[in-house]
Amino acid sequence: MIDHISIGVRHVAASKRFYDAALQPLGYHCLSDSPGSLGYGAKASALWITATEQPVPADNGSGLHFCFSAPSRKSVDAFHTAGLACGGRDNGRPGLRTDYGAGYYAAFLVDPDGYRIEAYFAEQG
């Protein structure tokens, strides 16, 4: 349904450090890197990060967050660890979220600009 998402950030270099580290364990990489713009994905860019003077203000009450598919529990754990090491803030340690559904394993971070992101693995069975 959605081809791509674009978010505006104040400091592209800080976002690049964070997203390179956090998304790598999930199998996503920076596929496009030009002055003021980054594109992330597996085969095609689906998350675009662009420099802007007025990014959307962080608002924990808005409900806005972005969830990335993960290939395993281990990759969810690595997403969380790498994101924390590169400027992210914890917004929910890795673990099962049975209130979201059986087998829902996820971790949550806040990126350097305040965007809330999640990595999610669906356990079968």
pTM, two decimals, is: 0.94
Distance of alpha carbon 52 from alpha carbon 68, whole angstroms: 23
Q: What's the rounded mean pLDDT across residues 14-34?
A: 97
Confidence of residue 123 (pLDDT cuts 50, 70, 90): confident
CA-based radius of gyration for the chain: 14
With respect to residue 44, please indicate whether it lies within any of the assigned structural domains. Answer: yes
| 11 domain-assigned | yes
Tell me which residue range forms the domain holding 109: 5-50+64-122
Is 58 inside any structural domain?
no
Q: How many CA atoms lie within 13 A of 105 on its CB side?
A: 19
49-75 pLDDT, tens digit each:
999 988 888 888 888 999 999 999 999
Alpha-carbon distance 98 to 83, whole Å? Answer: 24
Domain CATH for 102:
3.10.180.10
